[in-house]
Chain A
Amino acid sequence: MTPPIDARALGKRFRREWGLRDCTVTIPEGAVVGLAGPNAAGKSTLLSLAAGLLAPSEGSIEVLGRNPLREPSVLAEVGYVAQGAPLYRSFTVAETIEFARRTNSCWDEALLADVPTRIAPRTKVGALSAGERARLALALALCKRPRLVLLDEPFAGLDPLAGREFLQLLMDGVAETAATVVIASHVIADIERVCDHIVLLTGGGVRLEGNVEELLESYRILIGPRRPLGSIRGVRSIVRERHSGRQLTLLVRTDGPIVDPSWTVEPVGLEELLLAYMAPERMPESAPPERLPLRWHG
């Protein structure tokens, strides 16, 4: 089975700066992937490379088993919504839908879902609310019945209700088409609800990647009295340590059960885990971030 996205040592340089560097990642088929990371981490660059809008400076990227630049026909199977859901502002909603219908070879109008009934067809796109425009752009991307959907910061500028409606439309489309989805977002709370796979980019490289459930299963918060840190049984590495007064709080990657009863062991949430990996002290600019070793104890 060909993975929806397969990037090998992928890099993209803009003049002097690398937008993405040495990025090797495989997106599993059928996953809803959260592409997380702070601003300027390389999320948009990776999506643009996958959508065939940019050419790699080094390495390679294959989309659905094909090179998006050399075989642009693959893009008929990719639904891409750029940041801010750009559409022609002077078109009406009906004209926009008609335009998309005529310019796409595959078109399944059923995937517009409730968009035509909720948004008046004669409204000019420029007069739509941010939420309406986002849902219209998404519906148009879904009508292609894509095998891969790429969304760049779709929640920017949406209030919580519009964000929820956007997710409902997206997840209904996924249930119908079984498409793989990649959602770039710097706000983890926006994607936490839906994603079952995470790719965390920092400073242009992959910092953490994996199935959400497996990741959360292998990390724990340990709380205990402050003490010199030796090796802790069951702990593979310490991601973050925090001291407050006499208390010590560790975020650790485990390789077995924590048996020492002096630690209170708690599960970690996705947002907290990703924030810990995003912490700036863990990615000095001199070293390629994704190669940075964690602090190993024991």
Chain B
Amino acid sequence: MIEFHLDPRSGVATYLQIVQQVKEALRLGTISVGDQLPTVREVVADLAINPNTVAKAYRDLEREGLVIARQGRGTFVASTLAPAAASLRHYKGLRVELERWLEAAGNVGLDEESIRALISATLRETLARRVA
């Protein structure tokens, strides 16, 4: 079962944070087709947020075909975002390379914030180049 967490300082709308966390769990394969998402009341009781917000997040996910709401039973994962098994095989190798890179960054004295900044800037620029 997925458990949501909120970062109030992220500037990302609460319902979007929930949508993103479901997608991330789908991508990493921590939840898969047939799994149930927490009920609206469970999320509300856990995070003390507005039930409308949770419902909106689930509606968005449903519109994208990722989950399906079954009347009176709850919301279930209907589709997956996990990459095909073939590319999943590469995950481990990529992760090892990334760990090696992080160690190198640490060795030259970059702190966590600088590492994050460097990664997100590189990611943004690389993706922008790909689109262009």
User: Which residues of A are in contact with B by a Cβ distance under 8 Å?
Assistant: 30-32, 164, 167-168, 171-172, 174-176, 192-196, 213, 216, 267, 269
Give A151 to B131 CA distance when docked, in angstroms. Answer: 50
CB distance from A240 to the nearest CB of B (A): 18
Name 13 A/B residue pairs within 8 A (Cβ), A-sorted: A31-B52, A164-B48, A168-B45, A171-B45, A171-B48, A171-B49, A172-B44, A175-B44, A192-B8, A193-B8, A213-B13, A216-B13, A267-B11
Measured between beta carbons, the chain A residues less than 8 angstroms from B50 are 32, 171, 174, 194-196
Measured CA separation A32–B50 after assembly (Å): 7
Q: Map CB proximity to A onto B32-53 as digits: 1 under 8 Å, 0 otherwise.
A: 0000000011001100111111
Task: Give residues in B with beta carbon < 8 Å to A.
Answer: 6, 8, 11, 13-14, 40-41, 44-45, 48-53
Q: How many cross-chain pairs have Cβ atoms below 8 Å apart between A and B?
A: 43
A172-B41 in contact (CB<8A): yes
A260 to B50, CA, bound (A): 37
Contact B48 A194 (CB under 8 A): yes
A167-B48, A171-B44 are known; give 10 further A-B pairs, CB within 8 A. A30-B52, A164-B48, A171-B48, A172-B44, A174-B44, A193-B14, A194-B48, A196-B50, A267-B11, A269-B11
Contact among A175, A193, A267 with B51 in the assembled complex (CB-CB below 8 Å): A175
Which residues of A are found within 8 Å of B53, using beta-carbon distances? 196
The answer to whether A171 touches B11 (Cβ under 8 A) is no
Shortest A214–chain B CB gap in Å is 11
Q: In the complex, how many angstroms separate the beta carbon of A81 from the nearest chain B beta carbon?
A: 17
From A176, A193, A216, B48 is in contact (CB under 8 Å) with: A193
For B40, list chain A residues within 8 Å (CB): 175
CA distance A171 to B52 in the complex (A): 10
Tell me, in angstroms, the Cα distance from A31 to B53 when the chains sit together.
10
Q: How far is the CA of A167 from the CA of B14 in the complex (A)?
A: 16
Interface pair B8/A32, CB less than 8 Å apart? no
**Judging by beta carbons under 8 Å apart, are B13 and A174 in contact?**
no
Q: Which residue of A lies closest to B51 (CB)?
A: A175
* Nearest residue, chain A, Cβ from B8: A193
Q: Across the interface, do A193 and B49 meet the contact criterion of CB distance under 8 Å?
A: yes
Distance A249 CA – B52 CA, assembled complex (angstroms) = 34
A193 and B7 CA atoms in complex are apart in Å by 10
Please, how many angstroms separate the alpha-carbon atoms of A60 and B24 in the complex? Answer: 50
A211, chain B: closest CB distance, angstroms = 11
B45–A172 CB distance below 8 A? yes
B41 touching A175, Cβ below 8 Å = yes
Residues of B near A174 (CB, < 8 A) are: 44, 50-51
Q: A290 → chain B, closest Cβ, in Å?
A: 26
In Å, the complex CA distance between A43 and B44 comes to 27
